[in-house]
Structure 1
């Protein structure tokens, strides 16, 4: 949708909640978007709950903020973005962004730790830390709401579906394994646990996605994201397995 206002007449009327203990973030974003688009904003504050309810009843709307341009009600922040032809986020859309953000953070931490310890970010230790730090970050997301994670995990993990306590234990096992591998501590514990949970996870993901052809959400970020179960999830488990095998081989060479 476009508008034919000239720069001197581009005026928008905005009604938003601005109360003593709450200023609507969508209202703030709407005002910023309008001003960025060159509009002079008539900013009307709804400062009480009664005033807000009266406004919504008058205009037959359920939410605020509400923007009006040329006397036409555009709607809330999402409607305003659509009016300007901007991308509107689909809350149901699947995205790998949460997992990629974790991987990028794990890589950054590993490179920084390697530089601090060895004077260069590019070492074998950095590669090990990348995997182990990422395991801990993923476990941290799961541990924020273990019940929610376990419910999603039970949808595809083969072992958890046969023994439910495994779904609740998994985030703790992943965190512990990542911590021990980061420190090269207790390899007799970290290697078998990492190899076990990584193998079970890889087999479960492969079976669900590539054999059963199921369209599922991955529990890898704790159940809060809309990450599709697939290649990235499989890679996560394969990396855990590879880390365990790498450390086992390293111990064999040292021994």
Structure 2
């Protein structure tokens, strides 16, 4: 016996509801024959919501019983929430994984082999550059988060606005093989200040904060990840002076 479901979703010239499309896809993957009712205007949508006394669309009905919207449908099929709540390391894992793969790819493309030292240098440089992009895409949000734990930014707020540019400069400079004297001091400085700040905030003061390392709007907890970023900078600065 085939399973069927009714889906009411908003589809207008101005707006196609993404959760309606996701609900349809989920139902089809669960083996349901979907009767897709498209609400083609704001007026139709408002009329539907008043008729069924609901606040949002899409709305799914199975066996003439209203299941609800997309999140309700996920729960109905015992699926995890679409967007996990609370802190998450997903942004950092994504950045570190891709920059590592890029480092391996660049190293291999230049020598047809994996040169460990060069790969590590590229990994650090690319990671710093991408993390800088994450901060620069919303500098306002980044600074709001950064100044709550960085010891220098607390005292000199403008430093928070300069920091992502300095990080990008170091990353780009390493890739471009700038003279060590022009980038190593910057890397050492921002890395050392950052590491001390994280250690004090997290491990001494025991504060539970969100890390601004991947931008001010992230849910990455302040701690090991941010400390790792700063250790990278310190290690890169020392390595550049020694090389």
Quickly name the TM-score band, shorter chain normalised: over 0.9
Q: Cα distance, 1:231 vs. partner? A: 0.8
The reply to whether residue 199 of structure 1 matches residue 192 of structure 2 is: yes
Map 1:1-255 to 2 at 5 A.
Answer: 8-89=1-82, 92-250=85-243
In structure 1, C-alpha distance between the alignment counterparts of 2:48 and 2:20, rounded to whole Å:
15
In structure 2, C-alpha distance between the alignment counterparts of 1:42 and 1:122, rounded to whole Å:
57
Q: Cα distance, 1:187 vs. partner? A: 1.6
Q: Which consecutive unaligned segments of at least 5 residues does structure 1 have?
A: 1-7, 251-255
Q: Which consecutive unaligned segments of at least 5 residues does structure 2 have?
A: none
In structure 2, C-alpha distance between the alignment counterparts of 1:91 and 1:119, rounded to whole Å:
41
Aligned partners of 1:113 and 1:121 also within 8 Å: no
Q: Cα distance, 1:121 vs. partner? A: 2.7
**What secondary structure is seen at the aligned counterpart in 2 of 1:184?**
coil
Q: Cα distance, 1:181 vs. partner? A: 1.2
Q: Which moved more, 1:111-120 or 1:210-219?
A: 111-120
User: What's the TM-score once normalised by structure 2's chain length?
Assistant: 0.97
Q: Cα distance, 1:90 vs. partner? A: 5.2
Aligned partners of 1:11 and 1:39 also within 8 Å: yes
**What secondary structure is seen at the aligned counterpart in 1 of 2:79?**
coil
Name segments (4+ residues, structure 1) moved above 3 Å. 89-92
User: What's the TM-score once normalised by structure 1's chain length?
Assistant: 0.92
In structure 2, C-alpha distance between the alignment counterparts of 1:51 and 1:234, rounded to whole Å:
53
Would you say how many aligned residue pairs link Structure 1 and Structure 2? 243
**What secondary structure is seen at the aligned counterpart in 1 of 2:66?**
strand
Q: Cα distance, 1:82 vs. partner? A: 0.2
Q: Which residue of 2 aligns with 1:5?
A: none
Q: Cα distance, 1:21 vs. partner? A: 3.2
Alpha-carbon RMSD across the aligned residues, in angstroms, is 1.1
Aligned partners of 1:56 and 1:63 also within 8 Å: yes
